[in-house]
Structure formats: structure tokens, C-alpha cells
């Protein structure tokens, strides 16, 4: 049985929070000192789509049919409702139902 250390958990959580904040704040600070030309602007505008693709691609490669159904449901919800939260809910619900059905 693994014993949990509540103090260690909160120290780790605080450390992770500080690292995330530092990287985000550092990025904003750095971009505040750089001239954003048309080329850099295009790169920054393409980045969210690249991050989503890099996250979803391994899931589709290794997740099986339930992953494909979940991503399709999330994409369909996004196209119809145009709401990020609704797309996430649809994807999670379809993934849960597909896994429960044994897919």
C-alpha cells in the first residue's frame, strides 16, 4: 500500500504552480520585448492548432476505436455548437460510453 504525504503533495502542487506561472509570465515578458513582425505573428497564430494536433495524434494512434469516436464527437460538437466546453463534454461522454460498451 502506498502511503500519501499531504504536506509533500501540497509542496509539489505549489512547485508545479510556480513553474507554470513562471513559464507563462516569462513568455509574456519576452514577447513584450520582441517586435512581432508578420512572420512571427503567423507562427503564433498557428501554434494553438499545432498544440492540439500534437496532443490528439498520439491518442488517435494508440487509443483505438473509442478514441476515434470521441474525437469525432468532439469535432462534430465544435462544428455544431461552437463551444469548447460542449466539445470536451461530448468527447468525454462518447469515450466513456464507448469504453463501457467494450470498444
How far apart (Å, rounded) are the C-alpha atoms in residues 103 and 70? 11
* CA contacts within 13 A on the Cβ side of 48: 2
Do residues 98 and 70 make contact, with C-beta atoms less than 8 angstroms apart? yes
pLDDT in tens, the chain (103 residues): 556 778 888 999 999 999 999 999 998 898 888 888 899 889 888 888 888 888 888 888 888 899 999 999 999 999 999 988 999 999 999 999 999 998 8
Cβ neighbours for 56, distance < 8 A, ≥ 6 positions apart: 71
- The enclosing H or E element of 3 equals none
Q: Residue ranges of the domains in the chain? A: 1-34, 47-103
Q: In angstroms, how far is CA 19 from the centroid of its own chain? A: 17
Residue 84's pLDDT is 87
Residue 48's pLDDT is 83
Amino acid at each position: 500500500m502506498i502511503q500519501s504525504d499531504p504536506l509533500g503533495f501540497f509542496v509539489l502542487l505549489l512547485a508545479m504552480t510556480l513553474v507554470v506561472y513562471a513559464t507563462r509570465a516569462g513568455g509574456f515578458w519576452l514577447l513584450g520585448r520582441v517586435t512581432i513582425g508578420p512572420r512571427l505573428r503567423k507562427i503564433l497564430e498557428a501554434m494553438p492548432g499545432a498544440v492540439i494536433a500534437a496532443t490528439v495524434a498520439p491518442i488517435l494512434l494508440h487509443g483505438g476505436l473509442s478514441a476515434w469516436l470521441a474525437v469525432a464527437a468532439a469535432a462534430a460538437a465544435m462544428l455544431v455548437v461552437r463551444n469548447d466546453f460542449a466539445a470536451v463534454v461530448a468527447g468525454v461522454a462518447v469515450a466513456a460510453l464507448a469504453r463501457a460498451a467494450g470498444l
